[in-house]
């Protein structure tokens, strides 16, 4: 039934059993061009070659044993499309200037119809994407699917991962509220801890000495131009490579012949999409996005915190002794990143079986445990709600009150 859907009327019937690895042109293009008066659909197909393309992808062989774990890539793709669409919509109302950014976000969230929902989809989308990307990477890691010949599929994946983190770092500033402002003050200062070039890099990232108008336009330009363009490029490269090398089967080959992508795998993909996107919509409705007081460089009663998936790094910064911060800000993150890029070459074993590459699996577990525990610690220590900061323009003479709770948590 699937095959009928994509077959021009005059194409001869294919044998029902699908032979994999063999490009199938039902009729040579030479022959098909001779069709006297093609239907509109045939005509489109003859000009675009759509039929062959769709067919080829629907017939993509899935080795036996491929299943639910391989649906995450498709979920990611869909979530990315959602991000693009909601981002495009938000940009219709957003204005990237310290004078107006906060007001424009407030307006679009609370006054524009469906504003809270669209913004909720976009901000929860970033969270769900990070979770899905991490699961996708873990599955590739434990399956050893990054091994020959899929090294570059993995490398491009690591680049995509960096781009996604870039998106969330730049996007976080855009609402220009307290949370946004302070997370960016601290986040950009990380660059300044790099020896020698640190300060120049800081000024370059901020567009000046302080986080201000030029930081906002800079981040906006990255968030809506450079990062989306690179994400599209690398995602297509990734998908091209995935198709070129085909999906790897289970580490111990399962019995049975490969089956075409359609309908079995596509069905599983659709079920996962139903739940993944369902969860996203639920989150956007049930937990609508908030907005804190406008960015205030003098505000006292605010303790800056980054987005939850940077909390691991944040906690790491806390435990680093004075003078060692470059270890937490640069050395460990760079080390992990280099390790990820180099993984296909660090892991020399021929076999993809976890038992045959113990030290890689062990270091993977160690890294996951470290990042997971640190993130968990950060989440558990997050204070429930921030107090609104009351900004006074003129000089104020009140000496700040001691905050007993904060002192307690410091163990003083």
**Beta carbon nearer to another protein, 197 or 362:** 197
140 touches ligand HEM by CB under 6 A: yes
Task: Tell me the two tokens of residue 360.
Answer: 């890689």
Nearest distance from residue 59's CB to another protein, in Å?
39
Residue 89's binding partner, choosing from another protein, ligand HEM, none, with beta-carbon cut-off 5 to 8 A by kind?
Answer: none
Residue 402's binding partner, choosing from another protein, ligand HEM, none, with beta-carbon cut-off 5 to 8 A by kind?
Answer: another protein
Cβ neighbors of 26 (< 8 A, separation 6 or more) are 7, 8, 11, 12, 14
Task: Tell me the two tokens of residue 173.
Answer: 């500033």
Residue 136's binding partner, choosing from ligand HEM, another protein, none, with beta-carbon cut-off 5 to 8 A by kind?
Answer: ligand HEM
Contact 117, 131 (CB under 8 A): no
76 touches ligand HEM by CB under 6 A: yes
x-or-dash string of contact with ligand HEM, 221-260, rule CB under 6 A: --------------x--x---x----xx------------
Compute CA 169 distance to the chain's CA centroid, rounded to the nearest angstrom. 11
Nearest distance from residue 47's CB to ligand HEM, in Å?
28
82 touches ligand HEM by CB under 6 A: no
Task: Tell me the two tokens of residue 180.
Answer: 């946004």
313 touches ligand HEM by CB under 6 A: no
Nearest distance from residue 221's CB to another protein, in Å?
9
Contacting ligand HEM within 158-177 (CB under 6 A): 158, 160-161
131 touches ligand HEM by CB under 6 A: no
Contact 147, 345 (CB under 8 A): no
**Beta carbon nearer to ligand HEM, 11 or 248:** 248
Q: What is the CA radius of gyration of the chain?
A: 26
Residue 242's binding partner, choosing from another protein, ligand HEM, none, with beta-carbon cut-off 5 to 8 A by kind?
Answer: ligand HEM
DSSP letter string, 230-292: HHHHHHHHHHHHHHHH-----SSPPSS--EEIIIIIHHHHHHHHHHHHHHHHHHHHHS-----
Nearest distance from residue 323's CB to another protein, in Å?
5
Scored b (16 or more CB within 10 A) or e, 102-128 reads bebbeebbeebeebbbbbbbbbbbbeb
């Amino acid at each position: 039934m699937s095959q009928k859907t994509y077959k021009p009327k005059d194409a001869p019937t294919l044998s029902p059993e699908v032979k994999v690895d063999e490009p199938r042109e039902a009729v040579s293009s030479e022959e098909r061009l001779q069709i006297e008066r093609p239907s509109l659909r045939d005509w489109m197909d003859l000009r675009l070659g759509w039929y062959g393309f769709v067919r080829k992808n629907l017939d993509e062989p899935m080795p036996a044993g491929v299943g639910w774990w391989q649906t995450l890539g498709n979920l990611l793709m869909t979530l990315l499309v959602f991000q693009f669409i909601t981002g495009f919509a938000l940009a219709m109302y957003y204005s990237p200037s310290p004078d107006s950014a906060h007001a424009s976000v407030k307006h679009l969230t609370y006054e524009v119809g469906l504003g809270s929902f669209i913004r909720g989809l976009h901000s929860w989308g970033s969270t769900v994407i990070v979770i899905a990307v991490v699961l996708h990477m873990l599955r590739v890691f434990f399956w050893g699917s990054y091994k020959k010949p899929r090294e570059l599929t993995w490398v491009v994946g690591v680049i995509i991962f960096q781009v996604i983190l870039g998106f969330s770092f730049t996007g976080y500033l855009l609402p220009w509220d307290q949370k946004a402002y302070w997370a960016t003050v601290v986040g950009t200062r990380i660059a300044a801890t790099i020896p020698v070039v640190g300060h120049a890099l800081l000024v370059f990232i901020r567009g000046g000495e302080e986080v201000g108008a030029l930081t906002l336009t800079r981040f906006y330009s990255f968030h809506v131009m450079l990062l989306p363009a690179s994400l599209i490029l690398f995602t297509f490269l990734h998908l091209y490579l995935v198709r070129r090398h085909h999906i790897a089967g289970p580490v111990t080959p399962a019995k049975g012949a490969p089956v075409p992508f359609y309908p079995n795998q596509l069905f599983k993909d659709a079920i996962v999409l139903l739940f993944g996107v369902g969860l996203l919509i639920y989150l956007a409705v049930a937990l609508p996005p908030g907005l804190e007081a406008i960015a205030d460089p003098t505000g006292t009663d605010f303790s800056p915190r980054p987005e939850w998936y940077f909390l691991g790094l944040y906690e790491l910064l806390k435990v680093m002794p004075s003078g060692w911060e470059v270890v937490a800000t640069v050395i460990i993150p760079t080390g992990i990143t280099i390790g990820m890029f180099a993984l296909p070459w660090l892991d020399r074993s021929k076999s993809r079986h976890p038992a045959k590459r113990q030290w890689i699996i062990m270091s993977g577990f160690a890294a996951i445990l470290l990042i997971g525990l640190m993130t968990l610690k950060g989440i558990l220590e997050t204070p429930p709600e921030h107090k609104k900061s009351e900004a006074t323009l003129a000089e104020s003479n009140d000496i700040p009150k001691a905050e007993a709770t904060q002192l307690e948590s410091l163990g003083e």
